Structure 1
Amino acid sequence: MKIGVISDTHTKVKLAKDAIDLLIKRGAQFIIHSGDIGESEILEYLEKCSARYVAVYGNNDAHLARFHSKYNLVQEPYYFKLADTKFKLMHLPFYMAPDADVVIFGHTHAYESDFKGKTLFLNPGEVCARNKPISECAMLEISKSHFYVSYFTRDKKDKEFKEELFSYKRVKQ
């Protein structure tokens, strides 16, 4: 299964749509937004895309609470299962216990893909290109034996994303 992962879109709707479009084009069957969504227009775009999705509130998303029942918005930490894999989703990196197969988080605006013990910790970086001149997102592909992470970056001036691939041998919890 391929899972697109984005975070920290803030008010950058066009950059968010570009990242979502890339992930869908690359085969994402599910999209995870790990917070600081910023604009309801981004949730509307996720709602209309061909993949299912979940989005967690970030520390800048209190104004989106009025849309809670309209979109698939959740509070952190949020646990769920996809492809026989237990996920923990949050925005703030405060619940970093390895109590899931994959822990997805945001907030720091820094890409991280690190396998510690039996858990993959994944932060896709920032879509909004606020702290650096690049927009970032990730794709997590799950197989029975491995986690494959594609890290996508694009300079705000460029049209094409660059890709780096990371592979982690999967260890069942």
Structure 2
Amino acid sequence: MLIGIMSDTHDNLPAIRKAVDLFNRENVELVIHAGDFVAPFVAWELKKLDAPLKGVFGNNDGERKGLYEALGIYDELIELEADGMKIAVTHGTNEVLVRALARSNLYDVVVVGHTHRYEIREEGRTILVNPGEVCGYVTGVKSVALLDTRKREVRIVNLDTGELLGAMSL
């Protein structure tokens, strides 16, 4: 299964559109959003995804009722399973929680956002994935991740250039 991973969209509709276009072109089967949608109107672009969207709230998601109504987002931590891989998703605001999830040996992949910096790193047997920021406001780099559960690899892609920014085999 190919999974698109995004975070920190912060209402940047043109950047969200680029992420949606990339995910649709790549035929992802699921999209994970690690929080900081910000406002419910981002649903206009996210509803153009060809795949289902699962996500969590971030620290800048103030209109939670509206995000729930528009996208079905309702939690700060979710667990998913894909092709036998266990995945935990949280925004990443609580670093103690992130470390506990990564070191628990319960998950193959832990997905976070919050820092706006893309990263793939090993924490014991778990891979921690931060896709960076879709919005590009903090680092200037608009990025997403693609997790291929069959090939057991994750890639970070620059939305503006298509450049591969990082990759790791699981």
TM-score by length of 1: 0.85
How many residues were matched structurally? 163
Offset, 1:52:
0.9
Structure 1: 5+ residue stretches without partners:
none
| Partners of 2:34 and 2:50 in 1: CA distance | 19
**C-alpha RMSD of the superposition:** 1.8
Question: 2:23 matched to which residue of 1?
Answer: 23
Task: Answer yes or no: is the 8 Å Cα contact 2:144–2:159 preserved in 1.
Answer: no
Q: Provide the secondary structure at the position in 2 that maps to 1:130.
A: coil
Percent identity (aligned): 29
| 1:19-76 superposed Cα distances (whole Å, 9 cap, x missing partner) | 1211221121111110001232323432342101112111111213234144231312
Taking structure 1 as reference, are residues 102 and 147 closer, same or farther at Cα in structure 2, changes over 3 Å only? Answer: same
Whether 1:126 aligns to 2:133 is yes
What is the one-letter code of the residue matched to 1:166? Answer: A
Question: 1:36 matched to which residue of 2?
Answer: 36
| Partners of 1:122 and 1:93 in 2: CA distance | 14
| Partners of 1:48 and 1:153 in 2: CA distance | 20
Task: Answer yes or no: is the 8 Å Cα contact 1:101–1:118 preserved in 2.
Answer: yes
The match for 2:156 among 151, 156, 159 is 151
Taking structure 1 as reference, are residues 119 and 93 closer, same or farther at Cα in structure 2, changes over 3 Å only? Answer: farther
Task: Answer yes or no: is the 8 Å Cα contact 2:155–2:165 preserved in 1.
Answer: yes
| 1:91-131 superposed Cα distances (whole Å, 9 cap, x missing partner) | 02422222311100100001111122211110000111111
TM-score by length of 2: 0.86
Task: Answer yes or no: is the 8 Å Cα contact 2:122–2:128 preserved in 1.
Answer: yes
Question: 2:74 matched to which residue of 1?
Answer: 74
Taking structure 1 as reference, are residues 126 and 42 closer, same or farther at Cα in structure 2, changes over 3 Å only? Answer: same
| Partners of 1:2 and 1:165 in 2: CA distance | 17
Structure 2: 5+ residue stretches without partners:
none
